[in-house]
Structure 1
Amino acid sequence: MRVWKFVVGLGVLLVPFSWAQVEITVWHSVNDPALRQLIQGFNRAQDEVRVEEVYAGDHNELVTRLQAAVAARRQPEVVFLEVTRFGLFAERGVLERLEPYLRSDPALQADLLPAARSVSTYRNRTYVLPLVVVVPVMYYNKALFEQAGLDPARPPRTWGELEAAARRLSREGQWGVNIPGQWVRWAFVKQNGGEWIDEGGRVLINAAPSVAAYEYLLGLVRQGSASREAALKEDVGRQLFYAGRVGVTFDSSGNYGFYAQNVGFELGVAALPCQVKCAAPIGGTAMGMTAAAPPEKKRAAWAFMRYLLHPENNARLVTQSNFMPLRQSTLERPEVQAHFRTNPQWQLFNQQLKVAFPRPRPPAMPAIRLMEETVWQSMVVGQKTPRQALDDFAAEIRRLLAQP
Structure 2
Amino acid sequence: MKRRLVLLALLLCTALAMAAPVKVTLWYAQTGVYAKSLLEIVDNFNKQNQDKIFVEAVYTGNYQDTMQKLLAAMVAGDIPTLAQIEQSRIGQFVDAEAFQDLNAYIKTDQAFAATLNDFWPRFINANTFNGKLLGLPLNCSTPLLYINRDLFRKAGLDPDKPPKTWTELYAAAKKISALGPDIFGYRFGIDDWLIESKTWQFGGEIISDDGRKMLIYSPETVAGWKYFQKGVKEKAFIFGVTGGNELDISGRIGMVVRSTGSIQYLKDNAKFDLGATVMPMEKRKIVAIGGANIYMFASRPKPEKAAAWEFLKFLTNTENSRKWAMSTGYMASRISAFESKEMQAVLKADPRFGLTYEQLKESAVRRPWFGPYPEVHAMMTSAWEQVMTNTDADVDAILKKLQTEAQKVLDTYYK
Matching residue of 2:291 = 284
- For structure 2, the 5+ residue unaligned runs are 1-16
SS state of the match for residue 133, structure 1?
strand
Query: 1:39 is matched with which residue: 38, 42, 54?
Result: 42
Going from structure 1 to structure 2, the CA distance change for 1:66 and 1:384 (only over 3 Å counts) comes to: farther
Which residue among 374, 385, 389 is the counterpart of 2:394?
385
- Specify the SS of the correspondent of 2:256: strand
Change (3 A) 1:113 1:172: same
Aligned amino acid, residue 65 of structure 2: E
Select 1:52's aligned residue among 47, 53, 56: 56
Runs of 4+ deviating beyond 4 Å: none
Say which of 65, 68, 74 aligns to 2:72.
68
TM-aligned CA distance change 1:356 to 1:208, over 3 Å: same
Rate the CA distance shift 1:96–1:384 in 2: closer, same or farther, 3 A.
farther
- 8 Å contact from structure 2 (residues 203, 220) kept in 1: yes
Contact persistence 2:151–2:254 (CA under 8 A) = yes
Aligned counterparts of 1:216 and 1:321: Cα–Cα separation in 2: 33
Of 166, 186, 207 in structure 2, the residue corresponding to residue 197 of structure 1 is 207
Count of aligned pairs: 384
Normalization by structure 2: what TM-score?
0.87
Query: Which of 364, 370, 376 matches 1:362?
Result: 370
| Counterpart secondary structure, 2:114 | helix
The AA in structure 2 aligned to 1:380 is M
* Residue equivalent to 1:296: 303
Matches within 5 A, 1:90-239: 90-105=94-109, 106-170=113-177, 171-180=180-189, 181-201=191-211, 202-228=213-239, 230=240, 233=241, 235-239=242-246
Give the C-alpha shift of residue 18 in structure 1. 5.0
CA contact (8 A) 2:29 2:63 kept: yes
TM-score by length of 1: 0.90
Cα displacement (A) at 1:182: 2.2
Whether 2:263 is the aligned partner of 1:256: answer yes
More helix by share: 2
Unaligned runs of 5+ in 1: 1-16
Find the counterpart in structure 2 of residue 4 from structure 1. Answer: none
Query: Shift of the alpha carbon at 1:305?
Result: 1.0
CA shift, 1:256, in A, is 0.7
> Contact between 2:193 and 2:367, CA under 8 Å: does it hold in 1?
no
Q: Is the 8 A contact 1:76 1:290 kept in 2?
A: yes
Letter in 1 for 2:188: I
Per the alignment, do residues 158 and 110 of structure 1 end up closer, same or farther by CA in structure 2, a change over 3 Å counting?
closer
SS of residue matched to 2:292 = strand
Q: Secondary structure at the match of 2:251?
A: coil
Alignment match, 1:28: 28
User: What's 1:5 paired with?
Assistant: none
The match for 2:384 is: 376
- Deviations, residues 231-285 of structure 1 (Å, cap 9, x unaligned): xx1x412211111121111111122111111111110101111211322111121
State the Cα RMSD in Å: 1.9
Q: CA deviation at 1:26?
A: 1.1
Percent of residue pairs identical: 29
Verify: 1:336 aligned to 2:347, yes or no.
no
Structure 2 residue aligned with 1:396, among 398, 402, 405? Answer: 405
Residue aligning to 1:244: 251
**In 2, Cα distance between equivalents of 1:108 and 1:401:** 38
Higher radius of gyration, 1 or 2: 2
Give the CA deviation at 1:352.
2.1
Deviation at 1:200, TM superposition (A): 4.8
Contact 1:156/1:162 (<8 A) preserved: yes
Per the alignment, in what secondary structure is the counterpart of residue 104 of structure 1? coil
Q: 1:23 to 1:317 in 2, by over 3 A?
A: same
Q: Quote the Cα distance in structure 1 between the aligned partners of 2:369 and 2:130.
A: 9
In 2, Cα distance between the equivalents of 1:290 and 1:204? 32
CA contact (8 A) 2:263 2:353 kept: no
CA contact (8 A) 2:124 2:133 kept: no
